[in-house]
Structure formats: structure tokens, C-alpha cells
Amino acid sequence: MDYKQLIIDAIDSKKDYYCDLAMKIHDHPETAFNEVKAGEWLAEALRENGFEVEVGLYGMPTSIRATWGSGHPVIGLLAEYDALPGLSQKQSAVHDPVIEGGPGHGCGHNLLGTATLAAALGMKADLEASGLPGTIVFYGCPAEEVLTGKPFMARGGAFKELDLALAWHGGGVNMVHYGIAGGINSAIFHYKGIAGHASGAPWLGRSALDACELLSVGANYLREHIPDKCRIHYSYIEAGEAPNIIPDRASVWYYVRGLSREQIDDIYGRLVETAEGAAKMTGTQLTVEFLGGCYNTHSNKVVSELLYDVLKELPPIEYSEEEREMATALAKTSPRYKGEDPLPTGVFPNTWYESSGSFDLGDVQHICPCGLVTTLTWPMVLGNHNWQATCCTGNGIGLKGMIQGAKAMAIAAGRAFREPEIIKAAWEEFDKVIGKYSYKCPIPDDVPVPQPVYDEKSEQDGKAPKQKKEARSFLKLAEDRYSVRKFADRPVEQEKIDAILRAAQVAPTAANYQPQKILVIRAPEGIEKLRGCTRYTFNAPLFFLTCIDHDQVWVRGQDLKDGADVDAAIVHTHMMLAAEDLGLGSTWVGSFDPAKIRAAFNIPEDIEPIALLPVGYPADDAEPSPLHSKNKPIKELVVYDSF
């Protein structure tokens, strides 16, 4: 059998499996850096089909690296699976969200992750049947929607192993991307001023909002003096509480886009100088929070031509009458619709373009030859990042485009496995066009990877995480935390351990003597020893034992009471709440044998173990104790002025 037909048959034979998974991800949308369930489902599907799977690499808990095969060529596939905030939508041609304000797959990444899985399994079937050498690498790439997922992965060493990379994305036409799309820098400018009465004594205040507005004025004047197709845009995040209070805090979030890193860095540097000028004009303090950036894309001509040839050869998608009726009804919601066929089946010509839009594939394209193919998943007149696209990515229109995209990637890989001259020519093109640039990740090493945080609106069933940028208030955090007594069989990432220890480090202690000593227990042999000291381990994968050095503790002079227990409680509480903020569970354990724990972990005599904190990801069926919500009335707990 011809390898192309073998791949098509292999993908078609599991079509229902792929469509079910794509719909499962669609119905449980998770935003950037929070793709916990989607990542788990894709990783499990890869394991079930014989791939060696690693998750949580590159400091990113929701990333995936899965491999099958051996030898060269090493061909990578690039999956994404994050949703967009605010685009929840039912299957309807009128706006009708599943959850008001909830996220939705308005860019089709539920299809993208699953199409990449289907392509990987199609490639595997081809290599198994042919006996050809070759390695398939499936990269699960979080957070494309904030344009930093692949840059963070590249910073951690991803993609360097590849001879070739292939990617697919849904769209409004069938086409291959051949051109340049803009890269980006993303930063929030935070201003701190002085609050005051806006009418009674405005001269005593220094307005942080004035600084934000002056930055915006400067940025708008700067637009005239930047190259064509470069862009600057912004959104206010914090702008004061009330008109009669001079805002002492204000923040504005900026994107700077350009067609090369040189353009982006130059414009961004000028924007930062403008921000500094706004601070000087208003007497405020400026803090720049750099969120990240990505390279511009630059298509590899050889890989683009390979994908274009394959796409043209594929049989066109056939749509049902019901699907055409839905597409027409959705198209009519756009003022741009003029009666054209909303579901064209032809292939758009492979011509060079330059676009101001951005996606983070450019970082991969500056590391190895890489191409991107698109098949139709929503009517072109609609575009994406809207509720109409969310509707299409959850019905047959999007699912059929997904299967077509999987076939295109897998057949292109099949040709590359058989024709080594393709990869040789792709690298010659890469060295000629891209090789003169030495890839340097645009995200500095000191910028942390955002971690998943849970929120009630982030999934249709209310359990998925949302971005930490939308963090809960302290009171909401404290109310949400409960004692977790059942943990999932999943390790806690080092980045989260470091964040919890940072919370312990900054915890206030009496006279700031900082007498705390934290013992971190995570090795299996250490956990086994701990089980001999307490029965309250709850199968957690990680433990923090808060201890106090009595030689360093503050002592009250009036009655010689030392602050050991108070300091330990403050430190322990900081770690407990930090774990909650990071999407982890914990429970405070005070019941253990101090003598046994001293002996088991060689704790010196002057160091006293005070409290134990098991930490980990809550099990799916973990729930609060019935006593958790039974709070005494405030009037029973509080006395004003005197007992």
C-alpha cells in the first residue's frame, strides 16, 4: 500500500477517538499556562499508543515531550491546547455562552492539540509498516495565546534536537503559511504615586494614573516614528478606585510588535524610556514587569513547498448540509459577509506575505526548519478569537478541518522520512536566511514561568485553573484553602517548591531574627522514614517540616517567653497559603513523635521541629472536611477594647 494511503487510513480508523478527545478539551477550556486537564489527556493518549512521555519539562507543568522511534531524521510536531478568556459559547449561531465570562476555544487549540496527536500516530503507523529509521517528537506547547509558551520551552532547551518541525493551525482557508508574522514583547508598566484628596489637597498627591496616561500619550506619538507593520497597543489593568482619591497605583499593559527582533527591541527600548519620562513628569515610581516575548515567524521555503504539495493532493473536505447551514448562519453575524461560500474547499495560493499578527512559532523557526499548514475550521469572514470560532471548533466544521490537518502533517513527514534531500535543502535554506542570527531567547532567565492557579470560571465544570495574573484576593485565597487529606500521584515541580520556600523566607518573625529552619522531604526514602514518625502523611509527594533554632529566637523581657511557636506558625501559614496560591493542596500536621523525627532526620538538639506540612496536587476526589466551613460567629471570637 502507498504510504500516503496508509497514513490516511490510519488516521481515519481512529477518527472518532480523535474527535471525542477534541470535544473533551473543547468542553473543558483552560487558559494559558493552566492546561492541566488537556495536558493530562494528551499525555495519556500518547502513553496508551506507545510513546515515551515526559511532562512538566522546561519549568512548565503543562508541557509535554513524547517520543517514538529511533535514529534520524528527528521530526517534531508542535501541539497547543490553551483556550481564550471570555469566549465561552454553546452550539448556537447566536451569542450564548456556556458560562458568562468563561473561557472558550475561540482559536481552536482543542483541535490543534488533537490534530498533532493524530499526525504523530499516523507517522508511527507509517514507520512501523515501512521499517524506516526516524524519530517522532511530540511537543506539547502551553500558553501560545500569550505568546510565551514556546519561548519558555526554547529557553529550557527544547527543539534543538529536531531535523525538521511541522505544525498545523485551524483557520478560515486551506493554505500553507509562507512569509513573516510579527514577534512581540509584552510588559506591564506599574506606577506608584501618593494618594490624596482629589479636591481638598490635590497638591499633596502624585497620580500614578497621570503617569499611565502620559505614557499612553507618548506611545501614541511614537507610532508615527516606527516602521510599517510594527504595532504598539495597550490596555489599562489598574487605574484607581474612586474619582475623589488621587490614584497611588496604576498599571498599563503593552504589546510591542515588529517583523524582526531588532525592530521589537528598538521600539520596546524607546517605549521604556517614554515610561521613565512619564514617571519623572509625575513624581511617581516606575516598575517594569517584563512578561516575555517571542520571535517573528519566518517560513522555511522548502518546508512550505512540501506542505503545499501535500495539501493540494489531499481529497477536499466534504461538508454536510447541516454544517453548511450552521456556517452560513454564523457568517451572517459578520458585517463583512457578502453571500460568498463560507466553506470553500480549494487551497489558497502559496504566496509570500508579511503580517503584523503574532504567534510564538517564530522561536522554533529560528532554531530549526519549520513549516505551518492551515485547514479550514471556521468561515473566513469570521476570523477567530470570537464566540463564533468557539462554536465552530466544537462541531463538525472544526473537527473535519482537524483531521485534514493531521493528514497533511503526517504525509509531509512521510515524504521527509523517504527523501533526505528535503531536509538537506531545508537546512540549506535555514542557514542562508536564519543562520546569520544566533537564537537568543527573548525572555531573560530571571523571568519565572507562570504557574497554574485554580478559579471557578476557568472550566465549564468549575475545576480548571486560570492564569495567575488574575490572582485571587487574599481573603478569597484564605477562604478557598482547605486541609487536603488525599493527594494525586504527581510530583511537585521545583519551581513551585522554590516559590513556597520564598514565602517562608519573607515571612515576618519577631525582631526579624528569622529563626526558622525548613526541612524539605521529597525523596522516597525520606518519606518512608517520615511514615515511622506520624500516621498523617496522606500519601503526599512532598513535605515541609518547619523547625525553630532556639539560639536565634526573640525572647520577651518581661516574662522570658520566647517567640518560637509564634514565628513557626507565621512561617508555616505563609507556606500553606503559598501552596494554595500555586494550585497545590496542603494540611497542617502537628501530630508527630518529636523524638523519632529528630532521630530519623538528624535534627540538632537546639533545633525544635514544630509543624509538618504535606503538600501536593489534590486528588480528583479530594474535598474539604465537613468541619471546614463551620466558623464561629465573629462576635464569639472578637472583643473590642476590653474583655
Tens of pLDDT, residues 183-213: 999 999 999 999 999 999 999 999 999 999 9
Q: What is the mean pLDDT of residues 218-246?
A: 94
CA distance 515 to 621: 38
| 485 plus 607 within the same structural domain | yes
Residue 318 lies in a domain: yes
Asked if 615 and 499 touch (Cβ cutoff 8 Å), the reply is no
Amino acid at 489: D
CA distance 239 to 248: 9
- Which CATH number do you get for residue 538? 3.40.109.10
Asked if 413 and 127 touch (Cβ cutoff 8 Å), the reply is no
| 229 plus 134 within the same structural domain | no
CA distance 415 to 480: 53
Ranges of beta strands (E only) in 28-111 are: 52-55, 64-70, 74-79
Residue 267 lies in a domain: yes
Q: What is the mean pLDDT of residues 467-491?
A: 78
Cα 276 from chain centroid (whole Å): 30
CA distance 552 to 533: 26
Q: What is the mean pLDDT of residues 608-637?
A: 91
| 525 plus 568 within the same structural domain | yes
The domain containing residue 400 runs over which residues?
A: 3-178+299-433
- Sequence-separated (6 or more) residues with CB below 8 Å from residue 18: 11, 114, 115, 117, 118, 402, 403, 406
Q: pLDDT exceeding 90 applies to what percent of the chain?
A: 86
| pLDDT-derived band at 454, boundaries 50, 70, 90 | low
Confidence (pLDDT) at 447: 86
Task: Please report how the helices 396-418 and 301-313 are oriented relative to each other, as an axis angle in degrees rounded to 10.
Answer: 120
N residues, the chain: 643
Q: Is 494 exposed, middle or buried (0-12, 13-18, 19+ CB in 10 A)?
A: exposed
CA distance 95 to 549: 61
Q: What is the mean pLDDT of residues 406-431?
A: 97
Asked if 207 and 282 touch (Cβ cutoff 8 Å), the reply is yes
| 235 plus 162 within the same structural domain | no
**Residue carrying C-alpha cell 487536603:** 484
Confidence (pLDDT) at 472: 56
Single out the residue in 269, 294, 319 at which a domain terminates.
Answer: 294
| pLDDT-derived band at 471, boundaries 50, 70, 90 | very low
| 142 plus 99 within the same structural domain | yes
Range list of H helices, 455-581: 474-480, 494-506, 524-531, 564-581
Residue 643 lies in a domain: no
Single out the residue in 382, 403, 433 at which a domain terminates.
Answer: 433
Asked if 159 and 367 touch (Cβ cutoff 8 Å), the reply is yes
Residue 465 lies in a domain: no
Of 432, 436, 477, 449, whose CA–CA distance to 577 is shortest?
A: 477
Q: What is the mean pLDDT of residues 292-298?
A: 93
CA distance 61 to 58: 8
Kindly state the DSSP code that residue 400 receives in the 8-state scheme.
H
Residue 373 lies in a domain: yes
Residue 290 lies in a domain: yes
| 69 plus 200 within the same structural domain | no
| 171 plus 188 within the same structural domain | no
Task: Please report how the helices 261-282 and 208-222 are oriented relative to each other, as an axis angle in degrees rounded to 10.
Answer: 140
- Sequence-separated (6 or more) residues with CB below 8 Å from residue 410: 7, 11, 118, 119, 120, 122, 123, 126
Confidence (pLDDT) at 461: 43
Query: What is the C-alpha radius of gyration for the chain, rounded to an integer number of angstroms?
Result: 28
| 149 plus 19 within the same structural domain | yes
| 289 plus 344 within the same structural domain | no
| 12 plus 151 within the same structural domain | yes
Single out the residue in 242, 266, 294 at which a domain terminates.
Answer: 294
Amino acid at 151: P
Range list of H helices, 63-185: 109-130, 149-155
Point out the least confidently predicted range of 148-152, 500-504, 620-624: 620-624
Tally of domains within the chain? 3
Peptide bond into 73 cis (omega under 30): yes
Given a cut of 90, whether residue 529 has pLDDT beyond it is: yes
Angle formed at CA 182 by CA 83 and CA 151, multiple of 5 degrees: 60
- Sequence-separated (6 or more) residues with CB below 8 Å from residue 334: 379, 381, 382, 388
| pLDDT-derived band at 278, boundaries 50, 70, 90 | very high
Cα 348 from chain centroid (whole Å): 32
- Which CATH number do you get for residue 221? 3.30.70.360
Ranges of beta strands (E only) in 306-451 are: 353-358, 370-376
| 325 plus 415 within the same structural domain | yes
Stretch (H or E) spanning 611: strand 607-616
| 342 plus 229 within the same structural domain | no
CA of 265: how far to CAs of 256, 295, 356, 508, in Å? 9, 11, 16, 40
Neighbour-count burial for 609-626, b at 16+ CB within 10 Å, e otherwise = bbbbbbbbbbbeebeeee
Confidence (pLDDT) at 438: 80
| pLDDT-derived band at 470, boundaries 50, 70, 90 | very low
| pLDDT-derived band at 456, boundaries 50, 70, 90 | very low
CA distance 254 to 189: 8
198 — phi, psi (to 5°)? -65, -20
Q: Is 513 exposed, middle or buried (0-12, 13-18, 19+ CB in 10 A)?
A: middle
Of 404, 566, 562, 586, whose CA–CA distance to 482 is shortest?
A: 586
**Average pLDDT in the chain:** 93
Stretch (H or E) spanning 302: helix 301-313
Residue 614 lies in a domain: yes
Residue 188 lies in a domain: yes
State the pTM of this model. 0.73
Range list of H helices, 190-291: 208-222, 261-282
Confidence (pLDDT) at 464: 39
Q: What is the mean pLDDT of residues 294-300?
A: 94
Of residues 330 and 458, more confidence is placed in 330
